[in-house]
Amino acid sequence: MSNFKKYYQIGGFTIELVSELPIGNNTFHSKFFAFETTYPSSEKMIIEHRFQWDDDTINSSDNDPFYINATWKIIISENRVIYKWINPNPPHNNILRKAVCDRQHSHIVILNDNYLKNKYLAGNLLSLSMFPTDQILIGAYLAYKQGCILHSLGIILNNEGFLFLGHSGAGKSTMANLMKDEAEILCDDRNIIRKFPYGYQLYGTWSHGDVTEISPKSCCLQAIFFLQKSPINAIEKINDKKTIITRLLACLIRPISTSDWWNLSIDVIVNVSDTIPCFILKFNQTPEIINLIKNATNNHTCYES
C-alpha cells in the first residue's frame, strides 16, 4: 500500500497528513497553502486517510459507552475514541465515514466510503480530515496540550498578540478590516491559544470568516478584548474573574466533547482568566480604536475617545 504525505503547521504542532491516494495541489482548498511546511516539528498529530471500506451500520455491536445524535455516533473506550459519521438522511443507519483515534487524538485513522473517495478525487476539500470541520479533531487534541480554539479575531500588532472575542455579528471582521493596515491578521474567526512556561502563545488558523487574510504565524498573547458595538470607542478592564470565565466559555469552540475535554479545557480557561488581561472593547467602527488597543495593557481601567 502506497502512502502519500503532506505536512501542515498549526497551533505549534505539525499535522502529518497521510493518504492512500495522491495528494495533489488541488486536493485541498488553497487556504491551506500558507500552512504547508517541509519541516515537521517533533510534536505531531497524524491524520491518515484510508479508502478501503467494510460495511458498517449504526446497529453494529458497540460494547463501550457512546454519544449519538442525528449526525454522529461517538464510541469512547479507555484507550480510543471512534467517530462514526451517520448518513444525514433518515433512518440514519448507514455509516459514511469512521475515524479511529487514541484518546489524545494524536493519531487518527479515517476510513472513507466510495462517496467520500469520489469527493477526495474531485478535490478542493475544505478540511484536511474531510470532516465538516477540522476543529472537531484539532480541538480535541489541543485540550491535551493546554490549549483551545476560541471564536475570535487574532492579530499581531507591534510584535504583540491580541484576541478580539465575539460570535457572528459581534464585529470581528469589521475590526479586522479596520486594523489590517496596522496589524497582521492571523484569522478573523477561529484562533488557537496554548499555555507554555513563558505564557500563552496565540496562533492563527485556516478557519476564517469574511476576511480571507490568514497567517500561520504566532505571537505571545498580551490581551483579550470582548467586542461590543457602541456609539463611542472605549476599553474597560474586567477585574471580575467569574465574568471573564463566563465570557471565555461562551466563545470556546467545542469539539464533540468528552468529560476529559471539558475538564482540561476548563483548566485552560480558568488559567487564562488569572493570567491574561481582559477588557470590554466598545467601538464605533472608526480607526481611533487602534490607539486605545495599543495602550490597553497599561494600568488604567478605562480609555475613551
How many alpha carbons fall within 13 Å on the CB side of residue 88?
1
Residue 93 pLDDT more than 70?
Answer: no
**pLDDT tens, 216-261?**
999 999 999 999 888 998 999 999 999 999 999 999 999 876 788 9
Exposed/middle/buried for 150, CB within 10 Å: 0-12, 13-18, 19+? buried
Confidence grade of residue 297 (pLDDT, cut at 50, 70, 90): low
Mean pLDDT, the chain, integer: 88
Please answer whether residues 160 and 147 qualify as being in contact, where contact means their C-beta atoms are separated by less than 8 angstroms: no
Pair (99, 189) in one structural domain:
no
Cβ atoms within 10 Å, residue 19: 21
pTM (2 d.p.)? 0.91
Pair (156, 298) in one structural domain:
yes
| Per-residue model confidence (pLDDT) at position 303 | 37
- Out of 132, 162, 191, a domain closes at 132
User: Residue 25 has which C-alpha cell?
Assistant: 495541489
HEC-encoded secondary structure of the chain: CCCEEEEEEECCEEEEEEECCCCCCCCECHHHHHHECCCCCCCEEEEEEECCCCCCECCCCCCCCEEECCCEEEEECCCEEEEEEECCCCCCCEEEEEEEEECCCCEEEEEECHHHHHHHHHCCECCCCCCCCCHHHHHHHHHCCCEEEEEEEEEEECCEEEEEECCCCCCHHHHHHHHCCCCEEEECCEEEEEEECCEEEEEECCCCCCCCCCCCCEEEEEEEEEEEECCCCEEEECCCHHHHHHHHHHCECCCCCCHHHHHHHHHHHHHHHHHCCEEEEEECCCCCHHHHHHCCCCCCCEEEC
Residue 115 pLDDT more than 70?
Answer: yes
Instruction: Please tell me which of 29-33, 89-93, 234-238, 284-288 the model is most confident about, judged by mean pLDDT.
Output: 29-33
Q: Within a domain: residue 219?
A: yes
Average pLDDT over residues 2-6: 89
Pair (157, 294) in one structural domain:
yes
User: Residue 293 has which C-alpha cell?
Assistant: 488597543
Q: Within a domain: residue 177?
A: yes
| Per-residue model confidence (pLDDT) at position 92 | 63
What distance in Å separates the CA atoms of residue 268 and residue 149, rounded to the nearest whole number? 11
Pair (60, 167) in one structural domain:
no
Of the chain, the percentage scoring pLDDT greater than 90 comes to: 62
CATH of the domain at 197: 3.90.228.20
Confidence grade of residue 304 (pLDDT, cut at 50, 70, 90): very low
Residue 301 pLDDT more than 50?
Answer: no
Residue 296 pLDDT more than 80?
Answer: no
Confidence grade of residue 305 (pLDDT, cut at 50, 70, 90): very low
Q: Within a domain: residue 142?
A: no
Residue 121 pLDDT more than 80?
Answer: yes
Provide the number of structural domains found in the chain. Answer: 2
Pair (161, 73) in one structural domain:
no
What distance in Å separates the CA atoms of residue 300 and residue 275, rounded to the nearest whole number? 17
**pLDDT tens, 21-58?**
999 999 999 999 999 999 999 999 999 999 987 777 65
**pLDDT tens, 174-200?**
899 988 888 999 999 999 999 999 999
What distance in Å separates the CA atoms of residue 29 and residue 123, rounded to the nearest whole number? 8
Residue 64 pLDDT more than 60?
Answer: no
**pLDDT tens, 127-159?**
999 998 999 999 999 999 999 999 999 999 989
- State residue 56 phi and psi, 5-degree precision: -145, 140
Q: Structural domain of residue 282, as residue ranges? A: 147-304
Pair (25, 124) in one structural domain:
yes
Please answer whether residues 226 and 171 qualify as being in contact, where contact means their C-beta atoms are separated by less than 8 angstroms: no
